[in-house]
């Protein structure tokens, strides 16, 4: 039978609950402890009483003895659902269900050592670890993602005093080499825009916005007509459209404060946007009561006002490239093209960072540093060509 238990105020609303279970066979006292949050002593006493009841009923499980799979369920309900963006949570659950729980689900949290984490991350490089039937292991970027998911889960375990130390923190962050991004040159962009002229107007505007405004796919698909001021040539980037399995479309505020921004678009796009807006207004009048857009007025939508699926731009882009035989780069690399065009025009990295909605200039330099260096070398070469003949004289 458990005793009445005792309380210890540890400050900042933290209380340690202790329940004595008498002496064990070795003559030592057996005690169960639990740290909780409570507004005051009265609330702490109530939780102590509940703690005693759990122990006497045999339903209490020492958190440190909790299995990994059971803790992930707690993490999901108490943290992930509340603090992770819906799409981020959906992405997290893929490695959790397909890799982490099959690998670690049976292990107790107090059994985890850094070596377990290290061995697991190394194993992801092995052939057969992919889930798409392709040869080879996971890419460095995918392995880093697994590391991030594990770190998040075990960070909560230490934060909630379930375990004393986070085993992931003792493992070095997997290294991912930033490869040079494939982009279009200025001449290739001019040629591309010419090829786009006989394509559906909404498709060519999507491509042109990605290249000239540097918008992300979700930001393009989340645009409302009220976000575009054709007189001042500005786009207010405030939302990003996502599609969640089992939940449908989700129009959310862009992921960071820096992502919420105003972008000025080139004048040559205005006439096309005006023409397209006029066409969309006529289409909406035609469908009348069949309109399915609700309160939203998406710039890019189906005939009946529903937003486009996130896969639509990329699928159309790949088919367009196949039809025309034009140089292929990923749809997301159109955004990278926007950055490199500005770099080659001598635009300051800070301006580019703000235009792309990066958290800070370091992000911009990490992604496009090589292009900045190449532009700097080209500038130096031009100065050399200017002054070398005069220096000889």
- Tens of pLDDT, residue by residue over 75-126, are 999 999 999 988 899 999 999 999 999 999 999 998 999 999 999 999 999 9
Bridge partners (DSSP) of residue 249 are: 243
Q: Both tokens of residue 41?
A: 């002593």
Nearest to 13 by CA among 35, 31, 29, 32: 35
What 8-state DSSP symbol labels residue 38?
A: -
**For the packed helices 311-324 and 201-212, what is the interaxial angle rounded to 10 degrees?**
100
Nearest to 313 by CA among 238, 240, 227, 204: 204
**pLDDT band at residue 329 under the 50/70/90 scheme:** very high
Chain Cα centroid distance, residue 229:
29
| Residue 15 · residue 44 · CB < 8 Å | yes
**pLDDT band at residue 1 under the 50/70/90 scheme:** very low
Q: Is 104 exposed, middle or buried (0-12, 13-18, 19+ CB in 10 A)?
A: buried
What is the reported pTM? 0.67
| Domains detected in the chain | 6-60 (no CATH), 68-170 (1.10.150.130), 186-376 (1.10.443.10)
Q: For the chain, what is the total number of helices (H) and then of strands (E)?
A: 15, 8
| b/e burial code for range 299-331 (CB count within 10 A of at least 16 → b) | bbbeeebebbebebbeebbeebbeeeeeeebeb
d(CA 360, CA 350): 8
């Amino acid at each position: 039978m458990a005793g009445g238990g005792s309380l210890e105020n540890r400050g900042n609303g933290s209380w340690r609950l202790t329940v004595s279970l008498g002496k064990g066979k070795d003559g030592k006292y057996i005690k169960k402890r639990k740290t909780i949050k409570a507004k005051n002593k009265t609330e702490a006493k109530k939780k102590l009483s509940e703690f005693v009841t759990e122990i006497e009923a045999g339903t209490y499980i020492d958190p440190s003895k909790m299995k990994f799979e059971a803790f992930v369920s707690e993490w999901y309900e108490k943290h992930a659902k509340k603090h992770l963006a819906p799409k981020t949570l959906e992405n997290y659950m893929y490695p959790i269900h397909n890799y982490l729980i099959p690998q670690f689900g049976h292990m107790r949290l107090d059994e985890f050592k850094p070596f377990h984490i290290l061995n697991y991350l190394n194993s992801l490089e092995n052939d057969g670890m992919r889930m798409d039937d392709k040869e080879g292991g996971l890419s460095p970027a995918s392995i880093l993602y697994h590391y991030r998911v594990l770190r998040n889960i075990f960070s909560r375990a230490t934060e909630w005093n379930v375990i004393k130390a986070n085993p992931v923190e003792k493992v070095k962050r997997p290294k991912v080499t930033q490869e040079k991004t494939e982009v279009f040159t200025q001449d290739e962009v001019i040629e591309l825009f010419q090829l786009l002229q006989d394509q559906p107007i909404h498709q060519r505007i999507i491509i042109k916005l990605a290249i000239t405004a540097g918008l992300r796919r979700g930001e393009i698909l989340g645009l409302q007509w009220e976000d575009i001021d054709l007189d001042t040539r500005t786009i207010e980037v405030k939302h990003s459209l996502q599609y969640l399995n089992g939940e449908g479309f989700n129009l959310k505020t862009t992921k960071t404060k820096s992502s919420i921004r105003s972008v000025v678009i080139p004048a040559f796009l205005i006439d096309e946007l005006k023409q397209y807006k006029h066409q969309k207004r006529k289409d909406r009048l035609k469908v009348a009561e069949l309109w399915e857009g609700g309160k939203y007025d998406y710039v890019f939508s189906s005939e009946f006002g529903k937003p486009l699926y996130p896969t639509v731009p990329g699928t159309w882009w790949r088919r367009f490239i196949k039809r025309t035989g034009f140089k292929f780069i990923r749809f997301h690399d159109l955004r990278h093209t926007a950055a490199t065009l500005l770099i080659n025009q001598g635009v300051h990295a800070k301006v580019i960072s703000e235009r792309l909605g990066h958290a800070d200039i370091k992000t911009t330099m990490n992604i496009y540093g090589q292009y900045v260096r190449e532009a700097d070398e080209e500038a130096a070469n031009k100065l050399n060509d200017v002054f070398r003949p005069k220096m000889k004289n």
